[in-house]
Every structure is written in C-alpha cells, then in structure tokens.
Amino acid sequence: MKDKFFNYIHELQDTITSGLEKIDGKATFQEDLWKRPEGGGGRTRVIENGNVFEKGGVNISGVHGKLPESMQNYFGVEDADFFACGLSLVLHPKNPMVPTVHANWRYFEMYDKDGNIVDQWFGGGQDLTPYYLFEDDAKHFHQTCKTACDKHHPEFYPKYKARCDEYFYNTHRNEGRGIGGLFFDYCKASDEMSMQNWYEFVTEVGNSFLDAYVPIVEKRKDLEYTKIQRDWQEIRRGRYVEFNLVHDKGTLFGLKTNGRIESILMSLPPHVQWVYDHHPDAGSEEEKLINILQNPIDWV
C-alpha cells in the first residue's frame, strides 16, 4: 500500500503542477529534491511571482525511520518505527478576489521492533480560504467535495465537512481559517472499509482537487481590486499564518520529526500584515466574510 500510494502522489503532483502552470501563464514551478538524514526525502515544487499565484507550493515527501520520542509519547507507543508519505499544497494568489487553497493527502504506517505493521491509516482533505466571499465559489468547491465523497459513502461529506470546520478553526480568534471543505484522519481498516477502500476514497478526493479549485481561479483572477482590498487580504493572511504556526498538526509533526524546514514553512504567504485591533466596517463585504467564518454554514 505504501508503494502504491507513493506512486500515486508522484503522478498527482505532476498533474496538479502542470495544471496550475497553465492557468498562471507566466511562472513555473521550481523543483527542489531533498533527502532526510534519518531516512527518506521529498520533491518540493514552488511557484512565485506569477501572473496569478504570488506564492505556492505542491510538495511530496516519503520519510521513514525511528519514531521520535515526542511522537512515541503522542501515540502511546515505545520503540516504534514509521513510514509517512503525502502530498501537501498551498496556493496564495495575488488577486484578493481569488481564494487561497490548501490540500493534503497522506498515508502513515507504524512498525514494531520486528518490522511488522502495527498500525496504518490515511488522512487528508482540501479547504478554501477566501478573502472576499462569492457564494457561487463556496457552493462549487463544496459540491465538488460532496460529489467525490458520495461515490464512497453517503455520510462522508457531512462528517468530514464538519470535521474540517472544527479543525481549521483559530480558537484564539473565535473564527474559522476559511470556509472549509473536507478533513479526515486516522482512516483505518474496519468491517465496512478496507485499506483498499480507503485508498480509492482518498485518491478520488485528490483527483477532484483541480475540478474544485481551477474554475474559481479562472472566474476571479482578472477582477479589479483596490489597495484597501489588498490590505484586507494581507491582514487575513496573518490569520492563516497564526493557524499554521499555532494549531496545525501537520506543521507540528514536521518540526518534531526533523522535517525539511523550507518545505514545512512553504505554506506561509510572502506579504502579510498584523494590524492592531483591526475591525472591518459595519455592513462591509469584509464584515460579511467574518460573520461567515464565525458561524460556518452548509453550502450544499
């Protein structure tokens, strides 16, 4: 399974980066191959200063070795080895009318001292972070997620949509990072779902990513915007940074397993603002977004 999924994310990275380069029309992804001293490595691809994307990355990695003590304590195991692979992407568009997007699909195995698999699971999801709310975009993104989920289980979309709203939440701000999508983790074999079934579900979601995001980019990338709207985008990007550095488990895992720092922090936008005690004007489009982020709704 680990070889099968590792091959899949290699192919998916190629598909996604070529699709995004086509939309941008100017910038291309810079590729960086790296190795982890303890075992494994990855292929980082970063795009910067394009027509559409100010900064973004589509990264894959496959790492293995001794599970660090901090993670052994987290999982409640002793003397364990691990293998983890996944694709993680974040795209920060230049135009504030185009939303930031994040996605991740991953697979994890844990072994005993004899090399036997003692645990394995899939995780992942995709979520949208707009700066200005276009309800058509939110509905399109969520409908694409729901369509992918419904092919595998009728309860997956409502369950993983709710988990996404719960996970990507800045508790210290009492607001969501964005308008959600899907988030699933610890997807293990059961009477209802084999690991092969989970593989088919996760790859279905991965294959849906460009369908979920590209039409939104094409619709919004050429809209005009003002300096005030750009400032608002950068203020909201600050909240994105706060979530990634304070709450995100993936960032934490990377930092605690001696992950590659450039790849881990690739998700951070290049231009950000923190304005003291900032509040949008009453009745404004900016306030409309905040109200939605504080009270997640069902888009489909």
Candidates 224, 269, 211, 215; CA nearest to 244 is: 269
Candidates 268, 248, 264, 204; CA nearest to 63 is: 264
Q: Which residues of 37-64 are buried (b: 16+ CB within 10 A; e: fewer)?
A: eeebebbbbbbeebebbbbbbbbbbbbb
Rg (Cα) of the chain, in Å, rounded? 19
Residue 102 annotated to the active site: yes
Catalytic residue among 102, 172, 271, 279: 102
**DSSP bridge partners of 60:** 43, 87
Q: Which residues of 143-165 are buried (b: 16+ CB within 10 A; e: fewer)?
A: ebbbebbeebeeebbeebbebbb
How far apart (Å, rounded) are the C-alpha atoms in residues 289 and 300? 18
Cβ-contact 125, 141 below 8 angstroms: no
Copy the structure tokens of residue 19: 């699709």
- Find the helix packing angle between 156-167 and 135-150, rounded to 10°: 130
Point out the residues that are catalytic: 102
